[in-house]
A and B are shown apart, each in its own frame.
Chain A
Protein backbone atom coordinates (compact mmCIF):
# COMPACT_ATOMS: atom_id res chain seq x y z
CA UNK A 1 0.00 0.00 0.00
CA UNK A 2 1.38 3.40 -0.87
CA UNK A 3 1.60 6.34 1.49
CA UNK A 4 -1.25 8.30 -0.02
CA UNK A 5 -3.60 5.39 0.40
CA UNK A 6 -2.50 4.88 4.02
CA UNK A 7 -3.14 8.48 4.72
CA UNK A 8 -6.55 8.56 3.14
CA UNK A 9 -8.06 5.51 4.85
CA UNK A 10 -6.58 6.63 8.16
CA UNK A 11 -7.86 10.15 7.65
CA UNK A 12 -11.31 8.90 6.62
CA UNK A 13 -11.65 7.00 9.83
CA UNK A 14 -10.56 9.98 11.89
CA UNK A 15 -12.96 12.26 10.03
CA UNK A 16 -15.83 9.91 10.76
CA UNK A 17 -14.75 9.61 14.41
CA UNK A 18 -14.15 5.89 13.96
CA UNK A 19 -11.53 4.11 16.05
CA UNK A 20 -8.18 3.17 14.58
CA UNK A 21 -7.53 -0.51 15.29
CA UNK A 22 -4.20 -2.40 15.56
CA UNK A 23 -4.42 -3.91 12.08
CA UNK A 24 -5.34 -0.64 10.40
CA UNK A 25 -2.72 1.26 8.50
CA UNK A 26 -1.55 4.31 10.36
CA UNK A 27 1.17 6.92 9.93
CA UNK A 28 4.41 6.07 11.62
CA UNK A 29 4.33 9.25 13.65
CA UNK A 30 0.88 8.36 14.96
CA UNK A 31 2.14 4.97 16.08
CA UNK A 32 5.20 6.50 17.72
CA UNK A 33 3.15 9.11 19.49
CA UNK A 34 0.83 6.46 20.90
CA UNK A 35 3.65 4.19 22.00
CA UNK A 36 5.23 7.09 23.84
CA UNK A 37 1.98 8.12 25.49
CA UNK A 38 0.63 4.66 26.38
CA UNK A 39 3.94 3.35 27.69
CA UNK A 40 4.31 6.50 29.79
CA UNK A 41 0.81 5.88 31.10
CA UNK A 42 1.65 2.25 31.91
CA UNK A 43 4.88 3.19 33.67
CA UNK A 44 2.99 5.79 35.70
CA UNK A 45 0.57 3.17 36.99
CA UNK A 46 3.46 0.95 38.03
CA UNK A 47 5.75 3.60 39.52
CA UNK A 48 2.71 5.00 41.31
CA UNK A 49 2.57 1.78 43.32
CA UNK A 50 5.69 2.89 45.19
CA UNK A 51 4.54 6.00 47.11
CA UNK A 52 1.33 4.26 48.18
CA UNK A 53 3.14 1.00 48.85
CA UNK A 54 5.21 2.99 51.32
CA UNK A 55 2.21 2.96 53.71
CA UNK A 56 0.83 -0.57 53.33
CA UNK A 57 2.64 -1.98 56.33
CA UNK A 58 1.66 1.03 58.45
CA UNK A 59 -2.00 1.36 57.47
CA UNK A 60 -3.93 2.21 60.65
CA UNK A 61 -6.69 -0.41 60.48
CA UNK A 62 -7.30 -3.78 58.90
CA UNK A 63 -9.93 -2.24 56.67
CA UNK A 64 -7.63 0.60 55.60
CA UNK A 65 -4.89 -1.88 54.84
CA UNK A 66 -7.15 -4.02 52.67
CA UNK A 67 -8.49 -1.02 50.78
CA UNK A 68 -5.00 0.29 50.14
CA UNK A 69 -3.72 -3.11 49.01
CA UNK A 70 -6.66 -3.53 46.67
CA UNK A 71 -6.14 -0.06 45.28
CA UNK A 72 -2.47 -0.60 44.59
CA UNK A 73 -3.30 -3.94 43.04
CA UNK A 74 -5.71 -2.17 40.70
CA UNK A 75 -2.95 0.22 39.65
CA UNK A 76 -0.65 -2.69 38.86
CA UNK A 77 -3.51 -4.20 36.87
CA UNK A 78 -3.87 -0.93 34.95
CA UNK A 79 -0.16 -1.08 34.22
CA UNK A 80 -0.47 -4.62 32.86
CA UNK A 81 -3.45 -3.71 30.76
CA UNK A 82 -1.75 -0.65 29.32
CA UNK A 83 1.47 -2.56 28.55
CA UNK A 84 -0.65 -4.98 26.52
CA UNK A 85 -2.34 -2.04 24.83
CA UNK A 86 1.02 -0.61 23.82
CA UNK A 87 2.11 -4.07 22.62
CA UNK A 88 -0.64 -3.95 19.98
CA UNK A 89 1.45 -1.20 18.39
CA UNK A 90 4.50 -3.41 18.01
CA UNK A 91 6.64 -2.87 21.09
CA UNK A 92 7.32 -5.44 23.83
CA UNK A 93 6.95 -4.90 27.56
CA UNK A 94 10.62 -5.75 27.93
CA UNK A 95 11.54 -2.93 25.52
CA UNK A 96 9.27 -0.48 27.33
CA UNK A 97 10.85 -1.31 30.67
CA UNK A 98 14.27 -0.91 29.10
CA UNK A 99 13.25 2.54 27.85
CA UNK A 100 12.03 3.45 31.32
CA UNK A 101 15.34 2.45 32.81
CA UNK A 102 17.43 4.35 30.28
CA UNK A 103 15.28 7.44 30.76
CA UNK A 104 13.94 7.38 27.21
CA UNK A 105 10.43 6.75 28.50
CA UNK A 106 8.95 8.87 31.27
CA UNK A 107 6.28 8.39 33.90
CA UNK A 108 3.98 10.88 35.56
CA UNK A 109 5.88 13.49 37.46
CA UNK A 110 3.52 13.33 40.41
CA UNK A 111 5.08 10.10 41.65
CA UNK A 112 8.36 11.88 42.23
CA UNK A 113 6.82 13.39 45.35
CA UNK A 114 7.03 11.52 48.66
CA UNK A 115 4.12 10.03 50.66
CA UNK A 116 5.17 11.30 54.07
CA UNK A 117 2.20 10.71 56.35
CA UNK A 118 -0.94 8.59 56.31
CA UNK A 119 -2.89 11.65 55.14
CA UNK A 120 -0.83 11.55 51.96
CA UNK A 121 -2.56 8.27 51.14
CA UNK A 122 -5.85 10.14 51.35
CA UNK A 123 -4.51 13.05 49.32
CA UNK A 124 -3.08 10.79 46.62
CA UNK A 125 -6.34 8.89 46.19
CA UNK A 126 -8.48 11.98 46.24
CA UNK A 127 -6.32 14.47 44.31
CA UNK A 128 -3.95 12.40 42.19
CA UNK A 129 -6.49 9.77 41.16
CA UNK A 130 -9.04 12.56 40.92
CA UNK A 131 -6.84 14.39 38.42
CA UNK A 132 -6.07 11.15 36.59
CA UNK A 133 -9.79 10.47 36.18
CA UNK A 134 -10.40 13.83 34.51
CA UNK A 135 -7.66 13.09 32.04
CA UNK A 136 -8.68 9.48 31.48
CA UNK A 137 -12.34 10.24 30.99
CA UNK A 138 -11.40 12.50 28.10
CA UNK A 139 -9.19 9.71 26.73
CA UNK A 140 -12.20 7.38 26.53
CA UNK A 141 -12.79 9.19 23.24
CA UNK A 142 -9.21 8.91 22.00
CA UNK A 143 -8.84 7.71 18.42
CA UNK A 144 -6.89 4.49 19.04
CA UNK A 145 -9.47 1.80 19.82
CA UNK A 146 -7.54 -0.38 22.29
CA UNK A 147 -6.45 2.69 24.26
CA UNK A 148 -9.97 4.11 24.37
CA UNK A 149 -11.38 0.81 25.60
CA UNK A 150 -8.63 0.50 28.20
CA UNK A 151 -9.65 3.90 29.52
CA UNK A 152 -13.30 2.89 29.85
CA UNK A 153 -12.34 -0.09 31.94
CA UNK A 154 -9.78 1.75 34.02
CA UNK A 155 -12.03 4.73 34.78
CA UNK A 156 -14.50 2.49 36.61
CA UNK A 157 -11.82 1.57 39.12
CA UNK A 158 -10.38 5.06 39.33
CA UNK A 159 -13.57 6.49 40.74
CA UNK A 160 -13.38 3.95 43.57
CA UNK A 161 -9.80 5.09 44.21
CA UNK A 162 -10.85 8.69 44.34
CA UNK A 163 -13.67 7.93 46.77
CA UNK A 164 -11.46 5.93 49.14
CA UNK A 165 -8.94 8.77 49.20
CA UNK A 166 -11.63 11.29 49.94
CA UNK A 167 -12.99 9.03 52.67
CA UNK A 168 -9.58 8.98 54.37
CA UNK A 169 -9.45 12.77 54.27
CA UNK A 170 -13.02 13.04 55.51
CA UNK A 171 -12.36 10.77 58.47
CA UNK A 172 -9.24 12.68 59.38
CA UNK A 173 -11.04 16.01 59.21
CA UNK A 174 -13.66 14.60 61.59
CA UNK A 175 -10.91 13.37 63.90
CA UNK A 176 -8.47 14.86 66.40
CA UNK A 177 -6.69 18.18 65.95
CA UNK A 178 -3.52 16.31 65.02
CA UNK A 179 -5.35 14.39 62.31
CA UNK A 180 -6.83 17.59 60.90
CA UNK A 181 -3.42 19.19 60.75
CA UNK A 182 -2.01 16.13 59.07
CA UNK A 183 -4.77 16.25 56.45
CA UNK A 184 -4.30 19.95 55.75
CA UNK A 185 -0.55 19.48 55.50
CA UNK A 186 -1.03 16.75 52.90
CA UNK A 187 -3.44 18.98 51.02
CA UNK A 188 -0.86 21.79 51.01
CA UNK A 189 1.82 19.54 49.62
CA UNK A 190 -0.26 17.67 46.99
CA UNK A 191 -2.46 20.43 45.58
CA UNK A 192 0.03 22.14 43.31
CA UNK A 193 1.75 19.00 42.03
CA UNK A 194 -1.75 17.66 41.21
CA UNK A 195 -2.43 20.74 39.06
CA UNK A 196 0.88 20.18 37.31
CA UNK A 197 -0.25 16.67 36.32
CA UNK A 198 -2.16 18.21 33.41
CA UNK A 199 1.04 19.52 31.91
CA UNK A 200 2.12 22.98 30.73
CA UNK A 201 -0.34 25.68 29.71
CA UNK A 202 -1.78 25.22 26.23
CA UNK A 203 0.29 28.17 25.07
CA UNK A 204 3.53 26.26 25.65
CA UNK A 205 2.62 22.62 25.26
CA UNK A 206 5.10 21.06 22.80
CA UNK A 207 3.37 17.75 21.90
CA UNK A 208 -0.22 18.89 21.50
CA UNK A 209 -0.38 19.91 17.82
CA UNK A 210 -0.50 16.50 16.14
CA UNK A 211 -2.20 14.89 19.09
CA UNK A 212 -5.26 17.04 18.40
CA UNK A 213 -5.17 16.53 14.65
CA UNK A 214 -5.00 12.76 15.18
CA UNK A 215 -7.71 12.95 17.83
CA UNK A 216 -5.48 11.24 20.38
CA UNK A 217 -5.93 14.21 22.68
CA UNK A 218 -9.49 15.50 22.86
CA UNK A 219 -9.26 18.24 25.48
CA UNK A 220 -6.46 20.70 26.15
CA UNK A 221 -4.31 20.70 29.28
CA UNK A 222 -5.89 23.90 30.57
CA UNK A 223 -9.44 22.71 29.93
CA UNK A 224 -8.80 19.51 31.87
CA UNK A 225 -7.04 21.33 34.69
CA UNK A 226 -9.97 23.71 34.98
CA UNK A 227 -12.42 20.85 35.16
CA UNK A 228 -10.39 19.25 37.97
CA UNK A 229 -10.20 22.48 39.97
CA UNK A 230 -13.90 23.17 39.63
CA UNK A 231 -14.94 19.77 40.92
CA UNK A 232 -12.35 19.59 43.69
CA UNK A 233 -12.75 22.98 45.41
CA UNK A 234 -16.26 22.12 46.51
CA UNK A 235 -15.14 18.75 47.88
CA UNK A 236 -12.39 20.40 49.90
CA UNK A 237 -14.78 22.96 51.37
CA UNK A 238 -17.30 20.29 52.34
CA UNK A 239 -14.86 18.65 54.73
CA UNK A 240 -13.18 21.84 55.91
CA UNK A 241 -9.91 21.70 54.00
CA UNK A 242 -8.37 24.90 52.66
CA UNK A 243 -7.00 25.02 49.12
CA UNK A 244 -3.47 26.44 49.44
CA UNK A 245 -4.01 29.14 46.82
CA UNK A 246 -4.79 32.68 47.99
CA UNK A 247 -5.65 33.71 44.42
CA UNK A 248 -8.33 31.07 44.05
CA UNK A 249 -11.73 32.69 43.54
CA UNK A 250 -14.98 32.07 41.74
CA UNK A 251 -15.26 33.91 38.43
CA UNK A 252 -18.91 34.77 37.75
CA UNK A 253 -18.41 35.69 34.13
CA UNK A 254 -16.40 32.61 33.20
CA UNK A 255 -18.46 30.40 35.49
CA UNK A 256 -15.38 28.68 36.88
CA UNK A 257 -12.56 29.24 39.36
CA UNK A 258 -9.58 31.46 38.69
CA UNK A 259 -6.41 30.07 40.21
CA UNK A 260 -2.98 31.35 41.13
CA UNK A 261 0.21 30.96 39.15
CA UNK A 262 1.61 27.44 38.96
CA UNK A 263 5.30 27.12 39.78
CA UNK A 264 6.56 25.96 36.39
CA UNK A 265 10.13 26.20 37.51
CA UNK A 266 9.44 23.46 40.04
CA UNK A 267 7.62 21.47 37.35
CA UNK A 268 10.65 21.63 35.02
CA UNK A 269 13.04 20.81 37.83
CA UNK A 270 11.11 17.65 38.74
CA UNK A 271 10.62 16.62 35.09
CA UNK A 272 14.33 16.99 34.57
CA UNK A 273 15.11 14.55 37.33
CA UNK A 274 15.53 16.69 40.42
CA UNK A 275 12.28 16.01 42.24
CA UNK A 276 12.41 14.65 45.79
CA UNK A 277 12.01 11.02 44.71
CA UNK A 278 13.05 10.65 41.06
CA UNK A 279 16.20 8.82 41.95
CA UNK A 280 14.55 6.68 44.61
CA UNK A 281 11.72 5.55 42.31
CA UNK A 282 13.99 4.58 39.44
CA UNK A 283 16.61 2.96 41.65
CA UNK A 284 13.90 0.82 43.22
CA UNK A 285 12.37 -0.21 39.91
CA UNK A 286 15.74 -1.10 38.39
CA UNK A 287 16.84 -2.98 41.49
CA UNK A 288 13.67 -5.08 41.66
CA UNK A 289 13.78 -5.75 37.94
CA UNK A 290 17.40 -6.87 38.08
CA UNK A 291 16.85 -8.97 41.18
CA UNK A 292 13.98 -10.72 39.42
CA UNK A 293 16.10 -11.67 36.41
CA UNK A 294 16.96 -15.15 37.70
CA UNK A 295 13.25 -15.84 38.36
CA UNK A 296 12.30 -14.88 34.82
CA UNK A 297 15.17 -16.96 33.44
CA UNK A 298 14.08 -19.97 35.48
CA UNK A 299 10.46 -19.62 34.37
CA UNK A 300 11.55 -19.35 30.73
CA UNK A 301 13.89 -22.35 31.01
CA UNK A 302 11.17 -24.43 32.63
CA UNK A 303 8.58 -23.43 30.03
CA UNK A 304 10.98 -24.26 27.23
CA UNK A 305 11.84 -27.67 28.69
CA UNK A 306 8.17 -28.50 29.13
CA UNK A 307 7.08 -27.28 25.72
CA UNK A 308 8.92 -30.19 24.10
Chain B
Protein backbone atom coordinates (compact mmCIF):
# COMPACT_ATOMS: atom_id res chain seq x y z
CA UNK B 1 0.00 0.00 0.00
CA UNK B 2 1.10 3.54 -0.76
CA UNK B 3 2.43 5.39 2.23
CA UNK B 4 2.04 9.08 2.73
CA UNK B 5 5.77 9.52 2.50
CA UNK B 6 5.98 7.56 -0.74
CA UNK B 7 3.50 9.91 -2.40
CA UNK B 8 5.40 12.94 -1.11
CA UNK B 9 8.66 11.60 -2.47
CA UNK B 10 7.04 10.76 -5.79
CA UNK B 11 5.79 14.32 -6.13
CA UNK B 12 9.28 15.59 -5.39
CA UNK B 13 10.56 13.31 -8.14
CA UNK B 14 8.06 14.77 -10.60
CA UNK B 15 8.55 18.34 -9.42
CA UNK B 16 12.35 18.21 -9.23
CA UNK B 17 12.63 16.86 -12.76
CA UNK B 18 10.77 19.94 -13.96
CA UNK B 19 12.63 22.31 -11.69
CA UNK B 20 16.16 21.18 -12.48
CA UNK B 21 15.58 20.57 -16.19
CA UNK B 22 13.87 23.96 -16.34
CA UNK B 23 16.86 25.54 -14.66
CA UNK B 24 19.24 24.12 -17.22
CA UNK B 25 16.99 25.24 -20.07
CA UNK B 26 16.71 28.71 -18.59
CA UNK B 27 20.50 29.01 -18.76
CA UNK B 28 20.16 28.96 -22.55
CA UNK B 29 18.34 32.29 -22.67
CA UNK B 30 20.23 34.66 -25.02
CA UNK B 31 22.54 31.79 -25.99
CA UNK B 32 20.61 30.36 -28.92
CA UNK B 33 22.15 29.79 -32.38
CA UNK B 34 19.25 31.78 -33.83
CA UNK B 35 16.78 34.07 -32.13
CA UNK B 36 13.84 31.76 -32.88
CA UNK B 37 15.57 28.93 -31.04
CA UNK B 38 16.35 31.21 -28.13
CA UNK B 39 12.64 31.83 -27.75
CA UNK B 40 11.82 28.13 -28.12
CA UNK B 41 14.25 27.22 -25.32
CA UNK B 42 12.68 29.84 -23.08
CA UNK B 43 9.29 28.32 -23.78
CA UNK B 44 10.55 24.91 -22.81
CA UNK B 45 12.05 26.29 -19.63
CA UNK B 46 8.73 27.92 -18.77
CA UNK B 47 6.84 24.66 -19.31
CA UNK B 48 9.19 22.80 -17.00
CA UNK B 49 9.14 25.38 -14.25
CA UNK B 50 5.36 25.67 -14.42
CA UNK B 51 5.11 21.92 -14.01
CA UNK B 52 7.58 22.00 -11.12
CA UNK B 53 5.50 24.64 -9.42
CA UNK B 54 2.35 22.54 -9.67
CA UNK B 55 3.93 19.31 -8.42
CA UNK B 56 5.88 20.97 -5.60
CA UNK B 57 2.84 22.89 -4.43
CA UNK B 58 0.96 19.62 -4.15
CA UNK B 59 3.99 17.97 -2.52
CA UNK B 60 3.90 20.65 0.17
CA UNK B 61 0.22 19.96 0.79
CA UNK B 62 0.80 16.22 1.00
CA UNK B 63 3.72 16.71 3.36
CA UNK B 64 1.43 18.75 5.60
CA UNK B 65 4.05 20.90 7.27
CA UNK B 66 2.91 24.15 5.70
CA UNK B 67 5.75 24.31 3.21
CA UNK B 68 5.10 26.08 -0.08
CA UNK B 69 6.44 25.20 -3.51
CA UNK B 70 9.07 27.90 -3.01
CA UNK B 71 10.13 26.46 0.34
CA UNK B 72 10.60 23.12 -1.34
CA UNK B 73 12.45 24.54 -4.34
CA UNK B 74 14.67 26.97 -2.50
CA UNK B 75 15.25 25.50 0.94
CA UNK B 76 16.04 21.84 0.43
CA UNK B 77 19.61 20.57 0.31
CA UNK B 78 21.27 18.50 -2.40
CA UNK B 79 20.58 15.15 -0.71
CA UNK B 80 16.85 15.87 -0.63
CA UNK B 81 16.39 16.23 -4.39
CA UNK B 82 14.96 13.36 -6.46
CA UNK B 83 15.24 14.50 -10.08
CA UNK B 84 16.82 12.11 -12.58
CA UNK B 85 20.55 12.74 -12.94
CA UNK B 86 20.19 13.51 -16.64
CA UNK B 87 18.26 16.68 -15.80
CA UNK B 88 21.15 18.27 -13.95
CA UNK B 89 23.96 17.61 -16.44
CA UNK B 90 25.35 20.71 -18.16
CA UNK B 91 23.75 21.74 -21.45
CA UNK B 92 26.83 21.29 -23.60
CA UNK B 93 26.55 22.49 -27.19
CA UNK B 94 23.30 22.79 -29.11
CA UNK B 95 23.52 19.17 -30.31
CA UNK B 96 23.94 17.92 -26.73
CA UNK B 97 20.98 20.05 -25.69
CA UNK B 98 18.82 18.51 -28.41
CA UNK B 99 20.03 14.97 -27.71
CA UNK B 100 19.07 15.31 -24.06
CA UNK B 101 15.80 16.93 -24.93
CA UNK B 102 14.87 14.05 -27.19
CA UNK B 103 15.75 11.51 -24.51
CA UNK B 104 13.93 13.35 -21.74
CA UNK B 105 10.88 14.57 -23.66
CA UNK B 106 10.14 11.14 -25.12
CA UNK B 107 10.38 9.67 -21.63
CA UNK B 108 8.19 12.42 -20.19
CA UNK B 109 5.67 12.03 -22.97
CA UNK B 110 5.20 8.38 -22.03
CA UNK B 111 5.32 9.05 -18.30
CA UNK B 112 2.67 11.76 -18.40
CA UNK B 113 0.52 9.77 -20.80
CA UNK B 114 0.50 7.02 -18.17
CA UNK B 115 -0.12 9.50 -15.34
CA UNK B 116 -3.11 11.01 -17.13
CA UNK B 117 -5.03 7.99 -15.85
CA UNK B 118 -3.64 8.15 -12.34
CA UNK B 119 -6.20 7.52 -9.61
CA UNK B 120 -4.82 10.61 -7.92
CA UNK B 121 -6.85 13.42 -9.47
CA UNK B 122 -4.26 16.14 -8.88
CA UNK B 123 -1.49 14.14 -10.52
CA UNK B 124 -3.79 13.28 -13.42
CA UNK B 125 -4.70 16.94 -13.93
CA UNK B 126 -1.09 18.14 -13.96
CA UNK B 127 -0.13 15.26 -16.24
CA UNK B 128 -2.88 16.16 -18.70
CA UNK B 129 -1.27 19.54 -19.26
CA UNK B 130 2.29 18.23 -19.13
CA UNK B 131 1.68 15.56 -21.75
CA UNK B 132 0.82 18.19 -24.35
CA UNK B 133 3.95 20.15 -23.53
CA UNK B 134 6.14 17.05 -23.60
CA UNK B 135 4.75 16.11 -26.99
CA UNK B 136 5.72 19.52 -28.34
CA UNK B 137 9.20 19.26 -26.80
CA UNK B 138 9.53 15.82 -28.32
CA UNK B 139 8.62 17.00 -31.81
CA UNK B 140 10.87 20.01 -31.53
CA UNK B 141 13.92 17.99 -30.53
CA UNK B 142 13.10 15.21 -33.00
CA UNK B 143 13.09 17.68 -35.89
CA UNK B 144 16.41 19.07 -34.74
CA UNK B 145 17.85 15.55 -34.51
CA UNK B 146 16.94 15.04 -38.17
CA UNK B 147 18.47 18.37 -39.16
CA UNK B 148 21.65 17.90 -37.20
CA UNK B 149 22.00 14.19 -37.90
CA UNK B 150 21.66 14.69 -41.63
CA UNK B 151 22.84 18.28 -41.92
CA UNK B 152 26.63 18.47 -42.12
CA UNK B 153 29.47 16.24 -41.08
CA UNK B 154 30.11 18.50 -38.11
CA UNK B 155 26.52 18.59 -36.91
CA UNK B 156 26.30 14.81 -37.22
CA UNK B 157 29.49 14.34 -35.21
CA UNK B 158 28.23 16.70 -32.52
CA UNK B 159 24.84 15.03 -32.28
CA UNK B 160 26.38 11.58 -32.00
CA UNK B 161 28.62 12.96 -29.29
CA UNK B 162 25.55 14.33 -27.49
CA UNK B 163 23.88 10.93 -27.39
CA UNK B 164 27.17 9.33 -26.31
CA UNK B 165 27.36 11.78 -23.40
CA UNK B 166 23.86 11.16 -22.11
CA UNK B 167 23.13 7.53 -22.88
CA UNK B 168 24.52 6.13 -19.64
CA UNK B 169 21.93 8.22 -17.80
CA UNK B 170 18.95 6.69 -19.59
CA UNK B 171 18.78 3.53 -17.47
CA UNK B 172 17.88 5.51 -14.38
CA UNK B 173 14.78 6.98 -15.99
CA UNK B 174 13.05 3.61 -15.67
CA UNK B 175 14.27 2.59 -12.23
CA UNK B 176 11.64 1.54 -9.73
CA UNK B 177 12.10 1.31 -5.97
CA UNK B 178 9.72 -0.13 -3.39
CA UNK B 179 7.79 3.14 -3.07
CA UNK B 180 7.45 3.57 -6.83
CA UNK B 181 6.24 -0.02 -7.07
CA UNK B 182 3.63 0.52 -4.37
CA UNK B 183 2.37 3.67 -6.11
CA UNK B 184 2.18 1.88 -9.44
CA UNK B 185 0.34 -0.99 -7.81
CA UNK B 186 -2.27 1.36 -6.44
CA UNK B 187 -2.78 3.03 -9.80
CA UNK B 188 -1.32 6.33 -8.59
CA UNK B 189 2.14 6.19 -10.12
CA UNK B 190 3.37 4.80 -13.44
CA UNK B 191 5.04 1.44 -13.91
CA UNK B 192 8.31 2.64 -15.42
CA UNK B 193 9.44 -0.86 -16.37
CA UNK B 194 6.55 -0.98 -18.82
CA UNK B 195 7.60 2.36 -20.28
CA UNK B 196 11.12 1.25 -21.12
CA UNK B 197 10.32 -0.86 -24.20
CA UNK B 198 7.82 1.79 -25.34
CA UNK B 199 10.52 4.40 -25.03
CA UNK B 200 12.99 2.40 -27.10
CA UNK B 201 10.32 1.90 -29.77
CA UNK B 202 9.79 5.64 -29.86
CA UNK B 203 13.42 6.72 -29.88
CA UNK B 204 15.19 4.08 -31.95
CA UNK B 205 13.68 4.97 -35.34
CA UNK B 206 14.44 8.66 -34.80
CA UNK B 207 18.08 7.88 -34.11
CA UNK B 208 18.17 5.62 -37.15
CA UNK B 209 16.64 8.32 -39.35
CA UNK B 210 19.19 10.77 -38.00
CA UNK B 211 22.08 8.42 -38.81
CA UNK B 212 22.88 8.16 -35.12
CA UNK B 213 24.19 4.91 -33.66
CA UNK B 214 22.82 3.86 -30.31
CA UNK B 215 25.79 4.25 -27.95
CA UNK B 216 27.31 1.20 -26.40
CA UNK B 217 27.48 1.63 -22.66
CA UNK B 218 28.47 -1.03 -20.19
CA UNK B 219 27.09 0.73 -17.13
CA UNK B 220 24.03 2.85 -16.43
CA UNK B 221 24.49 5.59 -13.83
CA UNK B 222 22.15 5.55 -10.87
CA UNK B 223 21.55 7.27 -7.55
CA UNK B 224 18.80 9.89 -7.70
CA UNK B 225 16.05 7.69 -6.21
CA UNK B 226 18.16 7.83 -3.04
CA UNK B 227 19.03 11.49 -3.40
CA UNK B 228 22.56 10.75 -4.61
CA UNK B 229 23.45 13.18 -7.39
CA UNK B 230 26.24 14.35 -9.62
CA UNK B 231 28.47 17.18 -8.46
CA UNK B 232 26.57 19.50 -10.78
CA UNK B 233 23.42 19.64 -8.67
CA UNK B 234 25.10 21.41 -5.77
CA UNK B 235 26.19 24.21 -8.07
CA UNK B 236 22.73 24.55 -9.57
CA UNK B 237 21.25 24.84 -6.10
CA UNK B 238 23.80 27.30 -4.80
CA UNK B 239 22.93 29.58 -7.69
CA UNK B 240 19.19 28.99 -7.72
CA UNK B 241 18.77 29.25 -3.95
CA UNK B 242 21.14 32.15 -3.40
CA UNK B 243 18.64 34.93 -2.61
CA UNK B 244 16.35 32.77 -0.49
CA UNK B 245 19.30 31.51 1.53
CA UNK B 246 21.05 34.87 1.85
CA UNK B 247 17.89 36.73 2.96
CA UNK B 248 15.81 34.14 4.80
CA UNK B 249 13.39 36.75 6.18
CA UNK B 250 12.73 38.45 2.86
CA UNK B 251 9.61 38.04 0.78
CA UNK B 252 9.97 38.73 -2.92
Q: Which residues of A contact B (CB under 8 A)?
A: 46, 49-50, 53, 56-66, 69-70, 72-73, 76-77, 79-80, 83, 118, 168, 171-172, 174-176, 178-179, 284, 288, 291-299, 301-303, 305
Flag if B155 contacts A297 (CB, 8 Å): yes
Task: Please tell me which one of the listed residues B73, B146, B148, B250 contacts residue A62 in the complex, with CB atoms under 8 A apart.
Answer: B73
Task: Please tell me which one of the listed residues A171, A293, A295, A299 contacts residue B251 in the complex, with CB atoms under 8 A apart.
Answer: A171
Flag if B158 contacts A49 (CB, 8 Å): no
CB-CB contacts of B131-155 with A at 8 A, as 1s and 0s? 0000000000000001110111011
Question: In chain B, residues 198-252, which have Cβ atoms closer than 8 Å to a Cβ of chain A?
Answer: 239-240, 242-244, 247, 249-252
Asked if B53 is at the interface (CB within 8 A of a chain A CB), the reply is yes
Known contacts A73-B42, A171-B251: A295-B26 contact under CB 8 Å? no
**Can you list 18 contacts pairing A with B, beta carbon distance less than 8 Å?**
A49-B29, A61-B252, A62-B56, A62-B70, A65-B26, A66-B53, A72-B29, A76-B35, A118-B252, A171-B252, A179-B250, A294-B154, A295-B95, A295-B148, A296-B33, A298-B147, A298-B152, A302-B147
Q: Which residue of B lies closest to A80 (CB)?
A: B35
Flag if B147 contacts A72 (CB, 8 Å): no
Q: Tell me if B's interface is mostly helix, strand, loop or mixed.
A: helix
Question: In chain B, residues 164-216, which have Cβ atoms closer than 8 Å to a Cβ of chain A?
Answer: none
Q: Which residue of B lies closest to A93 (CB)?
A: B35
Distance of A253 Cα from B33 Cα, bound (Å):
54
Among listed B43-51, B78-86, B120-128, interface-contacting one: B43-51
Flag if B250 contacts A69 (CB, 8 Å): no
Q: Which residues of B contact A (CB under 8 A)?
A: 19, 23, 26-27, 29-39, 42-43, 45-46, 49-50, 52-53, 56, 69-70, 73-74, 93-95, 146-148, 150-152, 154-155, 158, 239-240, 242-244, 247, 249-252
Q: Which residue of A lies closest to B38 (CB)?
A: A76
Distance of A62 Cα from B19 Cα, bound (Å):
9
Q: Which residue of A lies closest to B24 (CB)?
A: A57
Flag if B34 contacts A292 (CB, 8 Å): yes
Flag if B35 contacts A176 (CB, 8 Å): no
Task: Please tell me which one of the listed residues A58, A61, A70, A175 contacts residue B242 in the complex, with CB atoms under 8 A apart.
Answer: A58
Q: How distant is B127 from chain A, measured CB to nearest CB, in Å?
A: 19
Distance of A189 Cα from B148 Cα, bound (Å):
45
Q: How distant is B57 from chain A, measured CB to nearest CB, in Å?
A: 9
Task: Please tell me which one of the listed residues A172, A176, A297 contacts residue B249 in the complex, with CB atoms under 8 A apart.
Answer: A176
Known contacts A58-B242, A297-B152, A301-B152: A175-B31 contact under CB 8 Å? no
Flag if A178 contacts B30 (CB, 8 Å): no
Flag if A60 contacts B252 (CB, 8 Å): yes
Which residues of chain B are within 8 angstroms of A73 by Cβ–Cβ distance? 29, 39, 42-43, 46
Which residues of chain B are within 8 angstroms of A61 by Cβ–Cβ distance? 70, 74, 244, 252
Task: Please tell me which one of the listed residues A58, A59, A118, A284 contacts residue B30 in the complex, with CB atoms under 8 A apart.
Answer: A284
Which residues of chain B are within 8 angstroms of A292 by Cβ–Cβ distance? 32-34, 94
Flag if B146 contacts A302 (CB, 8 Å): yes
Distance of A301 Cα from B150 Cα, bound (Å):
8
Q: Which residue of B lies closest to A292 (CB)?
A: B33
Flag if B155 contacts A66 (CB, 8 Å): no
Which residues of chain B are within 8 angstroms of A303 by Cβ–Cβ distance? 147
Q: How distant is A94 from chain B, measured CB to nearest CB, in Å?
A: 11
Which residues of chain B are within 8 angstroms of A301 by Cβ–Cβ distance? 151-152
Which residues of chain B are within 8 angstroms of A79 by Cβ–Cβ distance? 35
Known contacts A171-B252, A295-B33: A58-B243 contact under CB 8 Å? yes
Known contacts A57-B23, A297-B151: A46-B251 contact under CB 8 Å? no
